[in-house]
Structure 1
């Protein structure tokens, strides 16, 4: 795999899991990366204690890395959850979390916040969930706008009843939020999830290139590092770059061995965003 001129960052919620969470930014730096992203670090807490937030911020600062992306609170991603913002019974958790997440971003210069939509729930009609989602995404966009940051919406795969499965699904939501008056909302193009859902990735890139605000990669099948599966990640990234995208490519895969061994596909000199 060649690596193009795109900038890479490492997702420290799925990579470097051999280490405690607060040690991962330094491990990413030691591996040659100067930019990272995280899922929400406290899956059971929309509003963690100030001391915990401070410890997280200090771990990133002390490592000397840039936190380019952070998820809003999304519940237990390793368990049953896949976001909360469309779920009426959990909407307040999302709203309570907005200021905390954006506050971390303000301290660390973060410019992208991933807002996972949430599963379908039996107690609410899909239309009600979708209306609430647009409302909450608009609130998130307003909060992020004061940092000049973007709110991201992505399609997700797997068995959870998550309704955004294709690039078309995710971009349709982005467009609804934009029509509500929030311009700083974009499509998170996760190539693994699109492949895992059987989406036509070439068509998705052609159709939605202008909406792509962040890219994440893992190979398919298996969600391992590039080269462990069958996806033409090289071709897809070349097409995304040719479309004019100049943002980050987040490494969001499950290493088939150790994190360090799984990174051999990416030359060390290409791991710094300032290469």
Structure 2
């Protein structure tokens, strides 16, 4: 597979799914050994407690010692329990808001300029309109906080197989919410996180999504479909998709958010020449 069309992009490796066979604090060094200089994370501390300063410092040290920049971070979430964000969940209102300065502080200390805000699953017994209003309110708070450090807030569509209760299953729905947040905040720093794998699961026309919404992209993530493994293991044409991103003017990062087919992360990067792994 020739990915030379992506030579103008910076790749970032998601260390919540890649090198997950290692303890969290060892993953930045493993990413560096594989040639990467940028990485991203889902919220790494669980949702049950606010991380102590010592935990935050240990994570900072792991990244700085490895020479790897944390380029993306999720706001409060606990994906291990099937949660898909907390912003629209009334019971999580205060917990999310208490997390904002923690996430922003960690991001600022590591030069992270993108924070992903998953809106949360539908809650039985709570009106969708009530949840949507809370999500918008919280997204505006998140956008303001991110703006204070020169960062963007990302809004993502997830796939309806793994996240059937998540309200954003299409690029159109996510981009509509991006526009609503920007209108409400007046800041313009809400962007679409275009995860090509999730959209492929949902049967979206990926070239059409790129053509129609590229100007709203704040980040792109990739995994092959089906399987969610590395590019070249299934049916997506990444030579074409990466070329289309370049042609559409997208100059942001490409996040590797896939499961290694072999189960060994270090063996899953042959498709990406080493010279393209380091951020420019």
In structure 1, the partner of 2:66 is: 63
Distance 1:223 1:159 in 2: 12
Structure 2 counterpart of 1:80, from 72, 76, 82: 82
SS at 1:264 equivalent: coil
**In the alignment, is the contact (CA less than 8 A) between 1:38 and 1:69 conserved in 2?**
yes
> Pairwise mapping of residues 31-70 of structure 1 onto structure 2 (< 5 A)?
31-45=34-48, 47-70=50-73
Greater shift, 147-156 or 195-204, is seen at 195-204
TM-score calculated relative to the size of structure 1 = 0.97
Structure 1 counterpart of 2:189, from 166, 184, 190: 184
What is the deviation of 1:46? 5.4
Cα deviation code 1:119-164 (max 9, x no counterpart): 0011211111111111101100100101110000000113430010
In structure 1, the partner of 2:103 is: 101
SS at 2:231 equivalent: coil
Cα deviation code 1:25-58 (max 9, x no counterpart): 0100011000110111112345211111111111
Is structure 2 residue 19 aligned with structure 1 residue 13?
no
What is the deviation of 1:249? 0.2
Which structure 1 residue ranges, 5 or more long, are not aligned? Answer: none
Is structure 2 residue 272 aligned with structure 1 residue 270?
no
In structure 1, the partner of 2:228 is: 223
Greater shift, 56-65 or 41-50, is seen at 41-50
Distance 2:209 2:109 in 1: 34
Let me know the Cα RMSD of the aligned residues: 1.1
In structure 1, the partner of 2:179 is: 175
> Pairwise mapping of residues 142-153 of structure 1 onto structure 2 (< 5 A)?
142-153=144-155
Structure 1 counterpart of 2:242, from 237, 259, 273: 237
Cα deviation code 1:216-267 (max 9, x no counterpart): 0000001000011101122112111111111100000000111111111111
**In the alignment, is the contact (CA less than 8 A) between 1:46 and 1:73 conserved in 2?**
no
Is structure 2 residue 30 aligned with structure 1 residue 27?
yes
What is the deviation of 1:93? 1.4
- Equivalenced residue count is 273
Cα deviation code 1:46-84 (max 9, x no counterpart): 521111111111111111111110111112x13321101
Distance 2:134 2:242 in 1: 33
SS at 2:81 equivalent: coil
**In the alignment, is the contact (CA less than 8 A) between 1:219 and 1:231 conserved in 2?**
yes
TM-score calculated relative to the size of structure 2 = 0.95
Distance 1:22 1:148 in 2: 26
**In the alignment, is the contact (CA less than 8 A) between 1:138 and 1:182 conserved in 2?**
no
Cα deviation code 1:169-210 (max 9, x no counterpart): 110110110110231100000000000111121211111110
Distance 2:31 2:225 in 1: 24
